Structure formats: structure tokens, C-alpha cells
């Protein structure tokens, strides 16, 4: 896995960098593990836009990832590492001993031919999934469950990982990528290792068209709008006297929006 540069034959290639895809071993997905992905352009069921700057993008099919790893005590062999257009990480196609196939997030160090397993007795090596109470303290983990049986919700993006810091009765202390330390039930599962494709953060798109391929539409600064369109708009010249707010008056850039008393007690240390 590495980053390649391009000869500056055009303005879009001059600053562009891309993946060399050296780790990819299979170019077409497993058809039985894909399903259609209908684009909504960030609109809800009444047709109203619920997220700005979203729309367009290349057509793609969704790869069904096994985030629950409920097939316990059955070894599986990694038969391919694939590209997934729906996420920043790479995915691994695994085949269980009984012939069933599945996709999992590919961690750093997982290669074709490796054996992975979901079991509390599994070795502490990349790709294996265990309950938090069966993982040694200090281990780097990803695909962390927050509710038993719901499937992995945390640390699924390229290069992300968490660290198991300690164990307290029925809870385990996990340091998340944001720096937050959270109490998670020890029966929740997690996978060993760091999510692969760690160079994803170093990619430069080089041109606006690359963002359009990914479904990101242009955004206009609020200060460049008229007062009728945005709270920051208008003024003679460049005006910066306003407090940063959204088009609907909600404070932004540092304003805390978390309101979830139900899970406040699980946070040992805030991310800030």
C-alpha cells in the first residue's frame, strides 16, 4: 500500500496523489454479498434536503460487511483484499470452513491466506474478534461494539484504532481515536489491530471533480452570501463581526451539541 504521484500533464494532475492499490488482489466484488445502493441526494421521505452539499457521485453497489461476527469458533480463510467504494478502509473477503463467505474490515497486517476467527479463545492477532474481557489490557483494537450484539460501531474508518486501557467489574475502559475514554460492557466484541489503508488521510484530490465523483457538491461560504440567505451574509466589504452560526442560527465552531444524558455516565474522560 502506498501513494503515487502524477506527472503534471494538466492542472488537475499537478497536485493530485492517489493510491497504488498494491494490496488489492481482486477487482470485482462477490456478487452474493452486494446489494443495490439507491441514492437519496440527502433528502428525507418528504423530499426535503436534510444535509447540504450532498448529491451526484458515481454509481455503486453496497458491500454487506459482517460487523457482528456472530459465527463463533469457526475458522475462516482470507481469500481476497478488495476495494470498497462505500468506505475509506479496504475489505477482506473471507471463506469459512463450511463454505460460507463474508466481508470484514481489513486491518493492518491481514494478508491473503491468513486464518481469522471470532472466538474468546482466538489468538491476539489482526482480524480476530474477541469479547473485550478476553483481550489483554493495552491491546490495539478496532470494530468496537457499544451495545452487545448490535455490531461494531466505533473505529471502522481507515487508519483508526482504539486502545483497551483497563477493566472494571463488568466494564472495560476504551480510549477512542478522539481521546475520549469510555466505559464499554466487557461482553461487547472488538477486533484486534488497526484498520488498514492508513495513508488515506494523505491523499490529495487535485481537482474539484474528484469530490463530485464521491458525491460531494460545492459549498458556498456564508460570508459570501446576502443577508437574506445567511446570518453571516452582507456588509460593506469583508465583515467578520458576527458569531459563527449555521444558516438556521445554531451556534457552530465549538458549540456543544451533545444532549444524551443516558450515556453520560459511560464517559470517563471527555475528548476535550
Number of domain units in the chain: 1
Q: Is the pTM of this model over 0.85?
A: yes
Q: Which residues contact 237 (CB under 8 A, 6 or more apart)?
A: none
Ranking 5-14, 88-97, 256-265 by mean pLDDT, the lowest is 256-265
pLDDT tens track for 99-136 = 999 999 999 999 999 999 999 999 999 999 999 999 99
Contact 142, 107 (CB under 8 A): yes
- Does 270 reside within a domain? no
Q: Name the band, by pLDDT with cuts 50, 70 and 90, for residue 257.
A: confident
pLDDT tens track for 221-254 = 999 999 999 999 998 888 777 889 999 999 998 8
Contact 130, 190 (CB under 8 A): yes
Enclosing domain of residue 106: 3-201
- The grid cell for 257 is 451539541
- Does 210 reside within a domain? no
- Does 267 reside within a domain? no
- In this prediction, residue 92 carries a pLDDT of 98
- Does 102 reside within a domain? yes
Alpha-carbon distance of 251 to 239, in angstroms, equals: 18
- Does 259 reside within a domain? no
Alpha-carbon distance of 82 to 212, in angstroms, equals: 23
User: Nearest-CA neighbor of 216 among 225, 207, 227, 228?
Assistant: 207
- Does 215 reside within a domain? no
Find how far residue 137's CA is from the centre of its chain: 24
Residue 271 pLDDT > 90, yes or no? Answer: no
Share of the chain above pLDDT 90, in %: 92
pLDDT tens track for 33-75 = 999 999 899 999 999 999 999 999 999 999 999 999 999 999 9
Mean per-residue pLDDT over the chain, rounded:
95
Alpha-carbon distance of 263 to 35, in angstroms, equals: 34
Q: Where do we find the cell 473471507?
A: 94
Residue 189 pLDDT > 70, yes or no? Answer: yes
CA angle at 131 for the pair 128 and 136, rounded to the nearest 5°: 80
Residue 272 pLDDT > 80, yes or no? Answer: no
Question: What CATH number has the domain bearing residue 11?
Answer: 2.40.50.140
- In this prediction, residue 1 carries a pLDDT of 67
Residue 143 pLDDT > 90, yes or no? Answer: yes
Amino acid at each position: 500500500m502506498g501513494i503515487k504521484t502524477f506527472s503534471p500533464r494538466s492542472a488537475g494532475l499537478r497536485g493530485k496523489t492517489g493510491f497504488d492499490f498494491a494490496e488489492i488482489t481482486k477487482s470485482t466484488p462477490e456478487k452474493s454479498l452486494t446489494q443495490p445502493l439507491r441514492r437519496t441526494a440527502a433528502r428525507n421521505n418528504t423530499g426535503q434536503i436534510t444535509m447540504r452539499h450532498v448529491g451526484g457521485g458515481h454509481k455503486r453497489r453496497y458491500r454487506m460487511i459482517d460487523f457482528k461476527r456472530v459465527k463463533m469458533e469457526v475458522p475462516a480463510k482470507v481469500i481476497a483484499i478488495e476495494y470498497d467504494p462505500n468506505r475509506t478502509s479496504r475489505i477482506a473477503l473471507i471463506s469459512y470452513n463450511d463454505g460460507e463467505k463474508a466481508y470484514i474490515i481489513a486491518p493492518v497486517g491481514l494478508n491473503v491466506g491468513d486464518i481469522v476467527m471470532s472466538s474468546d479463545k482466538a489468538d491476539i492477532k489482526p482480524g480476530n474478534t474477541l469479547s473485550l474481557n478476553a483481550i489483554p489490557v493495552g491491546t490495539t483494537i478496532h470494530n468496537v461494539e457499544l451495545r452487545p450484539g448490535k455490531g461494531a460501531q466505533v473505529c471502522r474508518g481507515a487508519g483508526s484504532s482504539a486502545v483497551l486501557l483497563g477493566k472494571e467489574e463488568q466494564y472495560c475502559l476504551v480510549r477512542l481515536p478522539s481521546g475520549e475514554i469510555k466505559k464499554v460492557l466487557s461482553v461487547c466484541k472488538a477486533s484486534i489491530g488497526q484498520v488498514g489503508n492508513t495513508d488515506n488521510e494523505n491523499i490529495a484530490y487535485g481537482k474539484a471533480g474528484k469530490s463530485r465523483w464521491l458525491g460531494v457538491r460545492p459549498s458556498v461560504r456564508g460570508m459570501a452570501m446576502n443577508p437574506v440567505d445567511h446570518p453571516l451574509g452582507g456588509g460593506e466589504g469583508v465583515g467578520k463581526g458576527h458569531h459563527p452560526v449555521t444558516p438556521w442560527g445554531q451556534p457552530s465552531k465549538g458549540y456543544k451539541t451533545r444532549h444524551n444524558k443516558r450515556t453520560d455516565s459511560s464517559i470517563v474522560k471527555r475528548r476535550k
